[in-house]
């Protein structure tokens, strides 16, 4: 069987109930094989048999459910237009509902003697306008959903609002209370909740829109020997793009000509520009400050860095944590359950001969059971969390990752490139044999000048940083893994390990105490001798990140246990661990064995997060319950990491943990708020003792508590980040 897929951008989806309605209805359509709905992306992905159903049929079916299929144009602008229309309907409805609510509360709840001529008739007219005018699209959606065999929140709303409207009409001939006002208020609240849900979704997507807007719309491409301005969508891989000073880089690529200073805050979060030259990678949206750059395009379209970040942010909102999946299974029976309870309450009290109580019970159950708060509980928190993370360079790629960040108790850190900068530097220069430090560095660095070994380059770089002019050796020979031999200004220079120089008959006994001291600090010591005599030693270490001790302190303050996992020797690893404050160290582990060690920690019953640089830590990042790739930069496509930190700042780990824990806590609190009002309110509502206006008050409290609770996420995380920043600044002093 041959199937095809189609993707539809849908307007009008306010919460997860809307998404569930479309998904269930489409799955029941003949020829449809699979359906996936992305609420944040406002998309429906449909796999179908073209022999049974066509793309236009699917589009018409979705629109038949009362939603809008958006095609072409600026989709963010379309979202804004839909939001503006929802806002206008909501404001008109509430300009009517608030005065009515005040009057009804004073008269029906407080018992004040307010006699307004023809008040019922006025309410009838207003209720007709609000319900069948402003709320017509909702009623239409509920009828269409019923025709497809789907019970959703629109159906529940329609039953409640129509039931309240019907009581007003019946009150003219039967002894039942009139609830025209309840119909008005219920419609106004439904419009309000729909508007707020859409507003939060659109505002959360603004971070993605701002990110995409950083990429220029046009690029200056070299074609046939001249520069041509073309839309960036028309630039192909391998083409050469020219970027002048002051312009933004329009594509992802590699510099093939020129050198400049480039602001890459979009990638690293750092405001300071970096120098780029031939062979360096750059990404779209970066600002070219100085020189003319020629860039060979390496990624286009959806492969570009900006597009992938945007996609990650939006998809993360749809990958729900396990608590939400359990919630979804319960909610599948919720709407039918509310309808059964309402009908049962109505029939029960009618059987007992209490029609007024029967109406109170049936309406109160429908109103208090309005489920939009439940539909917003998890998506709202995920939208706020993912939007805030995107603004801070933190990509949490799934709802499961939020749950994992909340549950982890063990944080495993790679050393090189994570706790340290991954760049060896000379930390100590100890001269001997009657030679000064500068002369020692002059001869040692000149000898190492031609070396390709990282330690040799560190020695040469140290001399250059001190302004020592190096000499070109007249002869040079490297001994793999041992050291180098060179002739500098006519003098024989040896630089290398203790075994290397002692093998040449040089006695370093006078400096052994210094060697042992520096090695005890976890530093690598290389020895230098000139003309067969000891000249001194150089200690080299991977520079620790300044913020590492503060971050480890913060990890412990969160009740978590930090662990170091590294391939370095035990002495060096323990020295670094002591300096940053880590107690448990696993050293001399090959990259391919790191995942095994993570598994062993998990077998102890630990929930483990792994923090690595995403280069050779991929197996361990994948094995961990939460893999955190730090300083991933443009390499965000790492499938091994659950959390990607674009900037190479260790403090981002704390921010990610705080964001994950706060967002997941808000999801749980939202679900609690969504259920607690109903669990407490249903028995009272079914008893017929709860006035429908009071039921509406409970419904409002439930929904507003979820909205306000979700909006606290940025404030809580921001306060935690600010506190950690101040603590780091104090520790730095």
What is the set of active-site residues?
414
Structure-block tokens of residue 542:
């991977």
For residues 58, 63, 68, 73, the Cα torsion angle rounded to the nearest 10 degrees is 40
Asked if residue 527 lies in contact with residue 430, where contact means CB atoms within 8 angstroms, the answer is no
Kindly give the pairing relationship between strand 533-544 and strand 420-431: antiparallel
Asked if residue 689 lies in contact with residue 612, where contact means CB atoms within 8 angstroms, the answer is no
Nearest to 308 by CA among 77, 639, 38, 5: 639
Instruction: Quote the CA–CA distance of 685 and 691 in Å, as a whole number.
Output: 8
- Number of Cβ within a 10 Å radius of residue 605: 7
Residue 101 zone, left/alpha/beta (φ > 0; ψ -120 to 50; rest): alpha
DSSP code per residue over 623-658 = HSSEEEEET-TT-TT-TT-SEEE-S--THHHHHHHH
Handedness of CA 685, 688, 690, 692 (dihedral sign): positive
Q: What angle, 0 to 180 degrees and rounded to 10, lies between the N-to-C axes of helices 153-170 and 16-27?
A: 100
Asked if residue 471 lies in contact with residue 442, where contact means CB atoms within 8 angstroms, the answer is yes
Kindly give the pairing relationship between strand 287-288 and strand 483-488: unpaired
Return the SS3 of 222: strand
Q: Which residues contact 149 (CB under 8 A, 6 or more apart)?
A: 25, 28
Residue 706 zone, left/alpha/beta (φ > 0; ψ -120 to 50; rest): alpha
Instruction: Quote the CA–CA distance of 91 and 199 in Å, as a whole number.
Output: 14
Backbone angles phi, psi at 700, to 5 degrees: -60, -45
Buried b (16+ CB within 10 A) or exposed e, 653-691: bbbbbbbbbbbbbbbbbbbebbbebbeebbebbbebebb
Instruction: Quote the CA–CA distance of 45 and 211 in Å, as a whole number.
Output: 24
Nearest to 551 by CA among 646, 626, 650, 649: 650
For residues 49, 51, 53, 56, the Cα torsion angle rounded to the nearest 10 degrees is 110
């Amino acid at each position: 069987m041959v199937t095809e897929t189609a993707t539809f951008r849908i307007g009008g989806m306010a919460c997860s109930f809307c998404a569930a309605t479309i998904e269930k209805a489409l799955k029941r359509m003949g020829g449809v094989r699979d359906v996936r709905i992305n609420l944040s992306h406002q998309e429906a992905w449909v796999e179908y048999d073209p022999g049974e159903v066509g793309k236009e049929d699917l589009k018409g079916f979705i629109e038949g459910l009362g939603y809008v299929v958006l095609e072409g144009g600026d989709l963010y602008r379309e979202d804004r237009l839909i939001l503006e229309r929802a806002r206008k309907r909501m404001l008109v409805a509430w300009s009517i509902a608030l005065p009515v609510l005040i009057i009804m509360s004073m008269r029906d709840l407080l018992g004040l003697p307010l006699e307004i001529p023809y008040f019922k008739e006025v309410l009838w007219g207003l209720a007709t306008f609000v319900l069948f005018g402003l709320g017509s699209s909702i009623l239409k959606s509920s009828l269409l959903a019923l025709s497809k065999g789907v019970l959703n929140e629109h159906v529940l709303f329609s039953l409640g609002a129509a039931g309240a409207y019907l009581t007003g009409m019946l009150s003219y001939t039967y002894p039942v209370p009139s609830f025209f006002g309840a119909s008005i208020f219920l419609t106004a609240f439904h419009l309000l909740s729909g508007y707020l849900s859409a507003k939060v979704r659109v505002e959360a997507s603004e971070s993605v829109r701002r990110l995409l807007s950083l990429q220029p719309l046009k690029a200056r491409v070299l074609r046939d020997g001249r520069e041509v301005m073309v839309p960036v969508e028309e630039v192909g891989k391998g083409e050469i793009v020219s970027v002048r000073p002051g312009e933004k880089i329009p594509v992802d690529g590699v510099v093939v000509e020129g050198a400049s200073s480039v602001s890459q805050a979009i990638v690293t979060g750092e405001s300071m520009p970096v120098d780029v030259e031939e062979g360096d990678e750059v990404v779209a949206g970066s600002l070219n400050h100085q020189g003319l750059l020629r860039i060979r395009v390496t990624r286009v379209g959806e492969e570009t860095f900006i597009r992938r970040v945007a996609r990650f942010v939006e998809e993360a909102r749809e990958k729900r944590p396990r608590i939400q999946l359990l919630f979804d299974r319960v909610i599948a029976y919720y709407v039918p359950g509310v309808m059964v309870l309402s009908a049962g309450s109505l029939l029960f009290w009618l059987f007992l001969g209490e029609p007024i109580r029967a109406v109170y019970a049936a309406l109160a159950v429908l109103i208090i059971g309005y489920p939009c708060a439940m539909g917003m509980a998890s998506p709202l928190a995920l939208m706020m969390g993912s939007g805030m993370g995107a603004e801070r360079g933190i990509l949490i790629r799934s709802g499961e990752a939020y749950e994992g960040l909340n549950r982890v108790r063990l944080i495993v850190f790679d050393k090189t490139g994570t706790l340290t900068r991954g760049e060896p530097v000379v930390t100590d220069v100890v001269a001997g044999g009657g030679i000064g430090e500068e002369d020692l560095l002059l001869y040692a660095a000149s000898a190492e000048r031609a070396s390709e070994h990282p330690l040799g380059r560190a020695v040469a770089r140290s001399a250059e940083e001190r302004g020592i002019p190096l000499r070109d050796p007249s002869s040079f020979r490297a001994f793999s893994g041992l050291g180098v031999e060179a002739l500098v200004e006519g003098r024989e220079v040896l630089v290398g390990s203790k075994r290397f120089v002692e093998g040449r008959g040089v006695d370093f006994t006078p400096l052994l105490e210094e060697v042992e001291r520096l090695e005890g600090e976890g530093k690598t010591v290389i020895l230098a001798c000139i003309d067969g005599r000891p000249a001194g030693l150089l200690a080299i270490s991977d520079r620790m990140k300044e913020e590492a001790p503060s971050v480890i302190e913060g990890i412990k303050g969160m009740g978590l246990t930090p662990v170091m996992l590294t391939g370095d020797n035990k002495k060096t690893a323990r020295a670094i661990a002591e300096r940053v404050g880590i107690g448990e160290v696993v050293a001399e582990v090959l990259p391919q064995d790191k995942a095994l060690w993570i598994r062993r920690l998990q077998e102890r019953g630990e929930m483990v997060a792994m923090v690595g640089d995403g280069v050779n830590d991929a197996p361990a990042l994948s094995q961990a319950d939460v893999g955190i790739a730090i300083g991933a930069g443009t390499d965000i496509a790492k499938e091994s990491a659950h959390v990607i930190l674009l900037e190479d700042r260790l403090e981002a780990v704390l921010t990610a943990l705080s964001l994950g824990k706060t967002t997941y806590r808000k999801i749980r609190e939202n679900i609690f708020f969504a259920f607690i009002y109903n669990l407490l309110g249903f028995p009272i509502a079914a008893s017929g003792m709860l006035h429908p206006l009071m039921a509406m008050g409970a419904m409002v409290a439930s929904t507003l508590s979820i909205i306000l609770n979700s909006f606290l996420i940025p404030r809580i995380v921001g306060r935690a980040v600010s506190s950690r920043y101040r603590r780091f600044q104090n520790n730095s002093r």
